[in-house]
């Protein structure tokens, strides 16, 4: 079993489509800090591809001309990314960089176009785009309407399900650092830590070195009024 078999999106693909996707992909290794693609890159090879993360982690972020960075998410193994720019033939809207040694599978724009001629595969891509659009709208709504504590709780719950992975199963340990989490939320590290201490005092989480441990998921969700996931 490969790592992609545990990913909800890939797992939902019919066997024939999954095999066709893997057959169209070529392996690529990235060293720590190496760019998979940069914001503004065109849809031409080698950055113009649909990528599957086989091992390691990929950080997606948006870079401002003044040097500031906004982290969108950390892509875990099993996820496929980069389809929107390839579909549009447009420049990349964000930057993808390896966090530690990372292996990816790359499906060139040409081969991706061939796969998109398959109705079942193209429908699966449409579902993935829609799912991520819903997630993005939800985070935008949280930013506009929710308190800082509620936003933190909601992102912790998402991270417990792999963030963009959107897994049904949840984990009790979130490995994102407080610095990374603060950048995801667009808040300062001191503000984040202050709100996390509120959750610590309630017994919902514990802060460990380089990670956050969820002690009581129900209590955490109640702290941010998060509706539990439906299994």
Least confident of 47-61, 157-171, 183-197: 157-171
**At 151, phi and psi to the nearest 5?**
-65, -40
What average pLDDT score do residues 57-71 get?
Answer: 88
Q: Helix (H, G, I), strand (E, B), or coil: what is residue 123? A: helix
Cα–Cα distance for residue pair 47/28, rounded to 1 Å: 11
Burial 50-83 (b: 16+ CB within 10 A, else e): bbbbbebbbbbbeeeeeeeeebbbbbbbbbbbbb
Greater confidence (81 vs 230) lies with 81
**What's the chain's average pLDDT?**
91
- Residue 221: the pLDDT is 93
pLDDT reading at 75 higher than 60: yes
Query: H or E element: which one contains 196?
Result: helix 189-201
**At 162, phi and psi to the nearest 5?**
85, 10
- Residue 165: the pLDDT is 86
pLDDT reading at 104 higher than 70: yes
pTM comes to 0.88
CB 157 within 8 Å of CB 171: no
């Amino acid at each position: 079993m490969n790592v992609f078999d545990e990913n909800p999106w890939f797992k939902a693909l019919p066997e024939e489509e999954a095999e066709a996707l893997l057959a169209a992909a070529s392996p690529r290794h990235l060293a720590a800090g190496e760019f998979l693609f940069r914001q503004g890159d065109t849809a031409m090879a080698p950055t113009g591809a649909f990528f599957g993360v086989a091992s390691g982690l990929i950080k997606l972020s948006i870079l401002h001309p003044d040097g500031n960075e906004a982290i969108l998410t950390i892509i875990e193994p099993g996820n496929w990314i980069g389809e929107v720019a390839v579909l549009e033939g447009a420049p990349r809207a964000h930057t993808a960089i390896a966090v530690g040694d990372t292996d990816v599978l790359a499906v060139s724009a040409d081969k991706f176009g061939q796969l998109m001629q398959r109705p079942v595969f193209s429908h699966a891509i449409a579902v993935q785009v829609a799912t991520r659009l819903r997630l993005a709208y939800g985070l935008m709504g949280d930013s506009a309407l929710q308190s800082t504590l509620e936003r933190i709780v909601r992102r912790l719950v998402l991270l417990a399900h792999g963030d963009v992975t959107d897994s049904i199963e949840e984990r009790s340990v979130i490995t994102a650092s407080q610095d990374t989490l603060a950048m995801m939320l667009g808040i300062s590290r001191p503000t984040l830590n202050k709100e996390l201490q509120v959750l610590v005092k309630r017994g919902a989480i514990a802060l460990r070195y380089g990670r956050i441990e969820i002690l009581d998921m129900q209590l955490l969700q109640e702290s941010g009024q998060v509706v539990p996931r439906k299994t």
